[in-house]
């Protein structure tokens, strides 16, 4: 049953939509009138309508239009000596699914070239029956497909010290969302007979870094997946082909790519990646380990950094929100730097540990503005401001930056990072 507050929010949204609609309608009507009054431009036949179009594409794997050539992944800026990650162009995407060719990359020793026919997955340690699985064995198990986000724990990390990125891609682009297809890890672990004393699992990749992480058995037996396909096709090489572990909601480095081994034990292994890296340095100098879940977060992608509003009038503010602790419950938008907040509309589907698209109608009057979004997840956690985040976690943190992102709109329509 809706509360009075919910009804009021919906009424306000409808009112704003009607106002925005009238603005848009007026703009469209004026353009139509202009076309009708200009006989020389009325229904001019475009040149591409006068010729035969091209045939089937060559090569046969589909590619985007040449007019979308700038929608690409980018490397960090400035580019490091040995780049280890590329970023998703969030500001150029629609909906919640990231196309395979635009999913961010992160690897520690390059991308291995693995023949799937020769690849093996070993499960050993505290199991009754240690087993070796081929890829053919794995794909014979019952499969399932789930839509989840994937985020690097270092996403937005540079912003913790000062404003460095200019676009949503540069700042928050170590984030993607896909349909992942594979086998429940619990199904295969049950084949091996998990011993009651097993409390942790070690996952190891077949890359040159032999990337390894310790993972609680509770997660491995819950929603962990052995993934071999992504958005309907087999994994890309940079995404772990032919097999990766996927841990929904957990920091990306734990979803081990090129998975070759899982060992069960009674304690974490204290590997390099969970001692010297992927720990949170506290104000007292101690390091906090195993902060697995990615916190509630959102970012406005349209309009956002390096864009420009060319005319006054209606714009739809849009972006994405996500949480490693479950579904997004609500998103609020502010156009005055956080002085006043209004409820945004969440676009279906709203799913567990997935991106959700939010939308908010806005009429820009030409005055300077600061656009912000603030998400709340199902657990009740609220996305913090940067000041609140640093006050709670200290100035030494590097991972898990989920602070609110402000975008400043200047009087001339130019949009910049307002961190």
Q: Average pLDDT for residues 366-371, to the nearest whole number?
A: 98
The residue-averaged pLDDT of 113-133 equals 98
User: What is the average per-residue pLDDT within 352-374?
Assistant: 98
Residue 281 has a pLDDT of 85
- CATH hierarchy code of domain 297-417: 2.60.40.650
Cβ atoms within 10 Å of 83's Cβ, excluding its own: 11
Give the pLDDT confidence score for residue 30 in this predicted structure: 45
The pLDDT value given to residue 29: 44
Give me the pLDDT at residue 105, please. Answer: 95
Q: For residues 24 and 62, what is the distance between their CA atoms, to the nearest angstrom?
A: 35
- The domain limits of the chain are 4-41, 85-278, 297-417
In this predicted structure, what is the pLDDT of residue 28?
A: 43
Per-residue pLDDT, 283: 85
16-69: pLDDT as tens digits: 555 555 555 544 444 445 545 555 566 788 888 888 888 876 678 888 999 999
pLDDT in tens, 140-163: 999 999 999 999 999 999 999 888
- Reported as a single tens digit per residue, the pLDDT across 269-314 is 999 999 988 998 888 888 889 999 999 999 999 999 999 999 999 9
User: Can you name the residues that pair with 382 across neighbouring β-strands?
Assistant: 376
Fold of 85-278: Sulfite Oxidase; Chain A, domain 2 (3.90.420)
* pLDDT bracket for residue 230 (50, 70, 90): very high
Rounded mean pLDDT, 351-366: 98
- Residue 136 confidence (pLDDT) above 80: yes
Mean pLDDT of all residues in 113-128: 98
pTM for this prediction: 0.90
SS in 3 state form for the chain? CCCHHHHHHHHHHHHHHHHHHHHHHHHHHHHHHHHHCCHHHCCCCCHHHCCCCCCCCCCCCCCCCHHHCCCCCECCCCCCCCCCEEECCHHHCCCCCCCHHHCCEECCCCCCCCCCCCCEEEEEECECCCEEEEHHHHHCCCCEEEEEEEECCCCCHHHHCCCCCCCHHHHHCCEEEEEEEEEEHHHHHHHHCECCCCCEEEEEECCCCCCEEEEEHHHHCCCCEEEEEECCEECCHHHCCCCEEECCCECHHHCCCCEEEEEEECCCCCCHHHCCCCCEECCCCCEECCCCECCCEEEEEECCCCCECCCCEEEEEEEEEECCCCCEEEEEEECECCCCCEECEEECCCCCCCCEEEEEEEEECCCCEEEEEEEEECCCCECCCHHHHHHHHCCCCCCCCCCCCCEEECCCCEEEECC
Q: How confident is the model at residue 7 (pLDDT cuts 50, 70, 90)?
A: very low
Closest CA to 254 of 159, 148, 405, 127: 148
Chain segment 207-218, per-residue pLDDT in tens: 999 999 999 999
Q: How much of the chain exceeds pLDDT 90, in percent?
A: 76
pLDDT at 1 > cutoff 60:
no
**Percent of the chain having pLDDT more than 70?**
89
Q: Is pLDDT at 166 greater than 90 in this prediction?
A: yes
pLDDT digits (tens, 9 = 90+) for 69-92: 999 999 877 777 666 789 999 999
């Amino acid at each position: 049953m809706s509360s009075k507050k919910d009804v009021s929010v919906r009424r306000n949204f409808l009112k704003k939509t009607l106002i925005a609609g009238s603005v848009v309608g007026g703009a469209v009507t004026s353009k139509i009138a202009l076309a009708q009054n200009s006989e020389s431009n009325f229904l001019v036949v475009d040149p591409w309508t006068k010729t035969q179009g091209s045939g089937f594409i060559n090569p046969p794997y589909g590619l985007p239009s040449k007019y979308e050539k700038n929608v690409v992944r980018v490397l960090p800026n400035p580019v490091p000596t040995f780049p280890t990650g590329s970023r998703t162009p969030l500001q150029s995407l629609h909906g919640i699914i990231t196309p395979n060719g635009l999913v961010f990359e992160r690897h520690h020793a390059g991308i291995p070239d693995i023949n799937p026919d020769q690849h093996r997955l070993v499960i050993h340690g505290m199991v009754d029956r240690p087993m070796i699985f081929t890829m053919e064995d794995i794909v014979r198990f019952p499969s399932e497909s789930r839509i989840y986000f994937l985020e690097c724990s270092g996403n937005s990390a540079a912003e913790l010290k000062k404003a460095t990125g200019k676009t949503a891609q540069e700042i928050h682009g170590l984030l993607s969302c896909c349909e992942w297809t594979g086998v429940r890890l619990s199904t295969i672990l049950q084949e091996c007979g998990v011993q009651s004393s097993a409390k942790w699992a070690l996952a190891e990749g077949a890359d040159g870094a032999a990337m390894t992480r310790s993972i609680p058995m509770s997660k491995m037996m819950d929603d962990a997946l052995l993934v071999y396909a992504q958005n309907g096709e087999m994994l890309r090489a940079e995404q772990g082909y032919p097999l990766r572990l996927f841990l929904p909601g957990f920091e990306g480095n734990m979803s081990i790519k090129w998975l070759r081994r899982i060992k069960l034990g009674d304690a974490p292994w204290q590997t390099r990646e969970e001692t010297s890296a992927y720990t949170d340095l506290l104000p007292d100098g101690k390091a906090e380990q195993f902060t697995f879940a990615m916190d509630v977060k959102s970012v406005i992608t349209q309009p956002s950094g390096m864009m420009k509003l060319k005319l006054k009038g209606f714009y739809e503010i849009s972006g994405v929100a996500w949480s490693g602790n479950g579904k997004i419950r609500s998103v609020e938008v502010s156009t005055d730097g956080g002085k006043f907040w209004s409820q945004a509309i969440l676009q279906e589907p709203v799913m567990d540990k997935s991106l959700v698209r939010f939308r908010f109608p806005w009429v820009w009057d030409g005055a300077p503005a600061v656009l912000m979004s603030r998400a709340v997840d199902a657990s009740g956690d609220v996305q913090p401001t940067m000041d609140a985040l640093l006050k709670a976690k200290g100035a030494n943190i590097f991972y898990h930056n989920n602070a609110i992102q402000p975008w400043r709109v200047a009087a001339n329509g130019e949009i910049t990072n307002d961190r």
